[in-house]
Amino acid sequence: TGASQSYSAIMDYDMAGFDVEATAVPKAECQVSLMSSTSTMVDPGSFVVSQLFVQSTATSATTQQPQTYSLNVSRLTGTETTLHQLSVKGAYLVPGWNASQKVYTANLNLEEDLIRINFQKLDNGQSVTLAAELEAPVARRLASSLDEVPQLGEVQR
């Protein structure tokens, strides 16, 4: 009854346009009107707002305002370098996940030998490269002879 609802969607860079299909339910009581019947094209880095209206078909409701649905569709530019999501199983990230952060340290949990990196690209056309550096623990000095090994109960210096 005259209310409006808004939705948003993001298209990958490789997608040139989109189609909207809608069916009013229950069909016997309402119908969709003023919906585009052709593909809507969206330029890279731009957006388009598509609207459709659902009107009651009851004769007593002909004076009521239709229900408005707005769909704001934006298209990625193709130059995005951020990920949508990143997580590491078996470790924790420092700093914590933030889409604008590009460098992290993954601290391995003590009970783990391996970590698994999971990520979701912002744009399916992106290519992702992972680079890693091993951070080795401080090397322990090994005794060169038994004389250097502390005896039980002896204070170690």
pLDDT tens for 97-128 read 998 898 888 888 888 888 888 999 999 888 88
Instruction: Check residue 112 and give its pLDDT.
Output: 83
Q: Which residue has the higher pLDDT, 154 or 92?
A: 92
Instruction: Check residue 147 and give its pLDDT.
Output: 60
Residues whose CB falls within 8 Å of the CB of residue 108, separated by 6 or more in sequence, listed in order: 90, 91, 115
Tokens 């999971």 belong to 118
Instruction: Check residue 154 and give its pLDDT.
Output: 46
Amino acid in the structure at residue 80: E
pTM to 2 decimal places: 0.65
Work out the pLDDT band at 14, boundaries 50, 70, 90: very high
> Which long-range CB contacts under 8 A does 138-141 form with residues at least 24 apart?
none
